[in-house]
Amino acid sequence: MNKNDLSAFQLKSNLRKALKENQFVLYYQPKINTETGTIIGVEALIRWIHPEKGMINPATFISLAEESDFILLLGEWILNKACNQIKEWEKLNIKIPIAINVSIKQLLKQDFATLVSKKLKEFKISSEYLEIEITESVLSSNESLVRDAVSKLRNMGIKVSIDDFGTGYASFMYLKQFQADTIKIDQSFISHLPTSQVDTAIVSAIITLASELGINVIAEGVETQEQFNFLKDKGCSQLQGYLYSKPLPPNEILLLLRETEGR
Ligand code: C2E
Ligand code: CA
Ligand code: CA
Ligand code: CA
């Protein structure tokens, strides 16, 4: 094993312990309506607060979790935590949806829709407050399983987006495979707007595609006013990114939500 493999191995064997010892935290990043500038929802993004290594980003450990069935355990924890947060905010009269990231493996390996349905009942949450972003790090071999899971979720009233659209294995295929509510344009297409000719063409095309399909479109990773202006001009109705806010821990997102309440 080389040094990288070794540290990956160490992290991987630490995941279960980390879950038991409550080392994971959900951060929240607002989603903005491009026209009005108001917060229309938040995305939950997981962080691992390691006792020695400090904060570890999900890019490092989600793929490790996906290599084993640990992602199922972690996914359940995330779902639970998000439901808890929805409840907390409801008490404070803050009513916005939380979107959680769900890897395709969770849809394939368990009856995710039934799990969600149980959670909503357990927490007494209306389905409009929980949303799903489907991330695709693996090529899904079982189309009908994915289709069934998504249609079950949508029939329950849960909105589903295709995350990182344009990257990975099956973005366009997903559009044929299941009905999505939203396409999320990956930040790799946003970061070189508006100068890159290729990226402006791709982003414009995705926005047109979404509009022709009658589905929502959101851009992630919006960092500059120029990117914002371009997206607004092209009719991208929602966006997310450092320009507005980084992902924030629960206490800080609460301040932001309160500050902007009723705007
Ligand atoms: P993603 O779903 O595409 O999330 C967007 C990533 O871009 C997040 O990184 C976010 O912090 C970052 N980001 C947001 N705005 C900006 C910006 O303006 N500029 C830049 N440079 N970056 C921005 P993060 O939090 O490190 O998450 C990375 C990926 O890990 C996520 O990508 C998602 O695929 C995965 N992930 C995160 N949380 C979860 C989770 O709870 N479950 C699962 N299955 N995957 C997760
Ligand atoms: Ca996402
Ligand atoms: Ca993603
Ligand atoms: Ca992305």
Task: For residue 93, report the distance from its CA to the centre of ligand 1, in Å.
Answer: 27
Choose which residue among 43, 45, 63 to substitute to test ligand 1 binding: the one with the highest number of ligand atoms within 8 A of its C-beta. Answer: 45
At residue 262, does pLDDT exceed 60?
no
For the Cβ of 247 lying below 6 angstroms from any atom of ligand 1, the answer is: yes
SS (HEC) of 200-249: HHHHHHHHHHHHHHCCEEEECCCCCHHHHHHHHHHCCCEECCCCCCCCEC
User: How far apart are the CA of 189 and the centre of ligand 4, in A?
Assistant: 10
Closest residue to atom 34 of ligand 1, CA basis = 135
Query: With pLDDT > 90 as the criterion, what percentage of the chain qualifies?
Result: 79
- Collapsing DSSP to helix, strand or coil, 20 comes out as helix
Distance 149 CA to ligand 3 centre (A): 19
Q: Which segment of 20-24, 95-99, 136-140, 142-146 scores lowest on mean pLDDT?
A: 136-140
- φ and ψ at 195, to 5 degrees? -80, -40
Ligand nearest to the CA of 99: 2
Find the 164 Cα to ligand 3 centroid distance in Å. 5
Give the pLDDT confidence of 39-57 residue by residue, as tens digits.
999 999 999 999 988 999 9
Report pLDDT for 36. 96
Residue 128 DSSP class: G
Answer whether 193 contacts ligand 1 (Cβ < 6 A).
Answer: no
Does 9 have pLDDT greater than 90? no
Report whether residue 227 contacts ligand 1, using a CB cutoff of 6 Å: no
Q: Is 66 in the pocket of ligand 1 (CB under 6 A)?
A: no
pLDDT tops 90 at residue 11: no
For 208-256, write each residue's pLDDT tens digit.
999 999 999 999 999 999 999 999 999 999 999 999 999 999 999 999 9
Q: Is the CB of 45 under 6 A from ligand 1?
A: yes
- The reported pTM is 0.95
Q: Check residue 110 and give its pLDDT.
A: 87
Cα–Cα distance for residue pair 79/179, rounded to 1 Å: 22
pLDDT surpasses 50 at 165: yes
Say if ligand 1 is within 6 A of residue 58 CB: yes
3 pLDDT more than 60: no
The mean pLDDT value for 59-69 works out to 91
Atom 13 in ligand 1: residue holding the nearest Cα: 221
Residue 263 has pLDDT above 50, yes or no: no
pLDDT of 138:
66
Q: Give the pLDDT confidence score for residue 254 in this predicted structure.
A: 97
Is 86 close to ligand 1, i.e. is its CB under 6 Å away?
no
**What's the confidence (pLDDT) of residue 206?**
96
pLDDT at 183: 96
CA dist 161 and 107 (Å) reads 14
More confident site: 144 or 207: 207
Is 1's pLDDT higher than 90? no
